[in-house]
Structures are given as structure tokens and as C-alpha cells.
Amino acid sequence: MLKIIIPTLMLLPTALLSTPKFLWTNTTTYSLLIALMSLQWLTPSHLAHKNLTTWTGIDQISSPLLTLSCWLLPLMILASQNHLQHEPLTRKRTFITTLISIQPFIILAFSTTELTLFYIAFEATLIPTLILITRWGNQPERLSAGIYLLLYTLISSLPLLIILLNLHAQIGTLSLPMIKLTTTTPQNNPWTTSLSNLALLLAFMVKAPLYGVHLWLPKAHVEAPIAGSMLLAALLLKLGGYGIMRITTLTDHTLNSLQYPFLTLALWGALMTSSICLRQTDLKSLIAYSSVSHMGLVIAASMIQTHWSFSGAMMLMISHGLTSSMLFCLANTNYERTHSRILLLTRGLQPILPLMATWWLLANLTNMAIPPTTNLMAELTIMISLFNWSPLTLLLTGLATFLTASYTLFMLLTTQRGPLPPHIKNIQNSSTREHTLMTLHILPMLLLILKPELIA
């Protein structure tokens, strides 16, 4: 763990002290080396829980997410170069420093075995994200988006803090392996009641986000710069899914009364947000709503608490992290050229940018979950485990999958086909930087098809 955390912290002086000429080169190369080092976490282990220090450890649930968070930092730096081209040097350094400062908190949140530390790291990721959205966003509405993000996340996480303190007072520890060993029964322990379970899950449901408490997400996505969107879609939503998977294993057989409302909302939300995607005019908003729809399946799978559903949820989180991040990058390349996110004003780009059209096709096909992608494996695993829990869920999941295919094709056809709008006169060619960025997104997805057990 220290082999990753110390180099990550040393990225800060690299960003602050590099010469202006090599600022982007140094930070991108260095963070890419850290990302390559983090691949060692994926090696299968016979240990159920590899303890790294007193408070941190890695198991099957956290290792894929840790690798994903390290992999995404160089990609965020790479994607932001054009956006910050005309900014003063000080602001460039501040931006890169803000991106780097999120990384240790995310690594800590995914690897900690102590719930208090997890809560602190979980909340600490909010501050740099808020700075990214409110400082480097495009429109004046970024401030209201920041307030939405802050209010939704903080209000939902206060009950979690109260229940964690109460739990510590009763058991005497908040270490995850220790809590699993303590036998708690609903009769003598009030924390296992439905209300405390609800408080434990609510913070993660908002972060995931569950349909009904998802309004902060499209707002934040639309206003955030490209690095902010990638961070939100690929990592911060996964904190919610990871939290649900961790907490549901603690409150083992006491969640029955909560399973039904959460599962219903998650599946209904997947259906509703997929339908909303079909009538979106804003490209970034469409991709943001598609994230809500995919995370609905993750929430539903995590609530059932079976081995199959957990492995499906983990696969979908990793696959969705890479796919949605790639889609946001593609939307950003369109925005940088046409200065508009409106679908009707940015259509017909395939004849002008044929190589970009290839990336669009690949990203949309993985989003649609065509065989043999890990997205398909994840969705099938989740659908089978939900069907085993209740055959009626097949109607909702089947319809959601159909709608996903519909809006993905709608997005591909609108951006790439059709007549070119008359206001687009000259457009810059796609650069090597953009192709490298897309390759680094698609490569892990293609390699994971060959060995999906690394993330299952």
C-alpha cells in the first residue's frame, strides 16, 4: 500500500515544482507509472483479507476499485490539457494539485478496515470535488450544482455518523473483521432495527445514486469540467456501491424489511432514467442519466447479498467506470470543437472525424453491453441473481436493458450521422493525445474480457 500512497503524495511536489514546459508530461507519466504499479493488487490471493497495515487491508471487493482509481488519475490529467491550455501557470498547478489530492482519500476509503476512517475518507473526497465543480465549471449554474452536491451528500451522511458512533459505543470497535465476529441479535441490540439500517445505507444510496435522491448528479455532471465528470462517474459513484456492499454484509439478516423498497426504487429508477435519456437534448446530461440507470442495477444486486449478485455488481461497477468515463471524454472532444453540448447542433461528425467515430462506436457498443464485453457478463449475472430472488424482476431488468440499447443507439446516430449543421465551417483534427486517452480507456475493458475473474 505504501508503495502506491507515498508516490501518490510525491505527485504534489512534482506538480508544484515541475518546469512549465514539462508540467503535463511529468505529472501524466508519473501517475501512469503509479497506475501500472497498482495492477499488482489484482493478483489473486488465497487470503480472504490481506492486511497491509493496522487500519488498511485489501480483499476481493476493494482490489478492483483501488486499481481503477489509480488508473483514472493519469487519464483525468490527460483529458484536462486542452481545457486548461489558456489558463495561467498557477491555475494549472492548482488544478493538477486538486486532482492529485483526491487520490489518497479514495485509496484510503476503498482499503480501510475501520469504519470511522472510512467515513472520514468518504466525506473528504467531497471537498476537492466541490472545488473542481465550483471553480473550473463552465456556466454560472456551477454554484447551485455545488450546493446540491453538498446538501444531498452531507444531509444523508449525518445519520450514518450517528449510527457509527452508537455502534462503537455498543460493540467497542468499528473494525470490519471484528464486527463480523461479534454476534448481534435484534432483541438485545437496537442498532439492528430497520431505522438504524436505513441510516447506515442512506449515505451510500445518495452517493450511488438511488433514483429519487439522484438530482444532484446530472446537475454536477453538466457543470463540472471533464476531469470532474470522469471523477464523479468512474470513482465517486463507486464509493456508494462499495459502501452498500460493505454495510449489507454487516447487517446480515436484518435487512429484509428494507430490501423491498430499495430494490423497487433501484429497478424502477433504472427504467425511469433510461426513459429520460431518450428525451435528453444535452449530451452530458444523457450520459449522466445513463450512469444513474446502470448504478440502479448495482444497488439492486448489492441488496440481495448473494455471491452471484456481488460479483455482478462489482463487474458492472468496473465496466461502467471505464465506459462512462470514455463517453464523457468523447462528449468533451465534441464540445471543444463545436462549443455546444446540444445534440441537434453537434450532429453528423462522422465524415469530418472518422477516427473519432470509431471510438464513439466502441464506447457505445460497450455501453449497450454487447457480447463479449464484461458489461454483458455483469448485466447477465445481475439479471440471473435478481430472477432467482424474484422472477418478476425480469420484466423490469429486461425493459431497462432494451431502453439502454435504444438511447445508446440514439446517442450514436445523433452525434455521428445526419447532415452537418451549417454553422460548423472548420473543425480541428483529432490529436494523438485524444487517441491515447481513448486507447487507455478501451484497453483495460478489452483485456478484462480475457480474464474477467480479476474483477468478479
Residue 379: all three cell numbers together: 448485466
Phi, psi at residue 46, to the nearest 5°? -80, -10
Are 206 and 152 in contact, with CB atoms under 8 Å apart?
yes
The mean pLDDT value for 279-297 works out to 95
Residue with cell 465517486: 236
Question: Of how many residues is the chain composed?
Answer: 456
Is the per-residue pLDDT at 288 higher than 90? Answer: yes
The mean pLDDT value for 39-67 works out to 82
Are 331 and 290 in contact, with CB atoms under 8 Å apart?
no
Describe the crossing of helices 62-79 and 89-111 by its angle, rounded to 10 degrees.
170
H helix runs in 278-353, sequence order = 283-304, 307-338
The pLDDT score that the predictor gives to residue 189 is 55
Whole-angstrom distance, CA of residue 402 vs CA of residue 56? 41
pLDDT band at 138 (very low <50, low <70, confident <90, very high): confident
The mean pLDDT value for 191-218 works out to 88
Q: How far is CA 49 from CA 100, 120, 216, in A?
A: 27, 22, 35
Describe the crossing of helices 354-368 and 307-338 by its angle, rounded to 10 degrees.
160
The pLDDT score that the predictor gives to residue 173 is 87
Residue with cell 469530418: 352
Whole-angstrom distance, CA of residue 49 vs CA of residue 113? 10
Whole-angstrom distance, CA of residue 356 vs CA of residue 334? 9
- Tens of pLDDT, residue by residue over 102-132, are 999 999 999 999 999 999 999 999 999 999 9
Is the per-residue pLDDT at 180 higher than 60? Answer: yes
The pLDDT score that the predictor gives to residue 188 is 52
Is the per-residue pLDDT at 284 higher than 70? Answer: yes
The pLDDT score that the predictor gives to residue 408 is 97
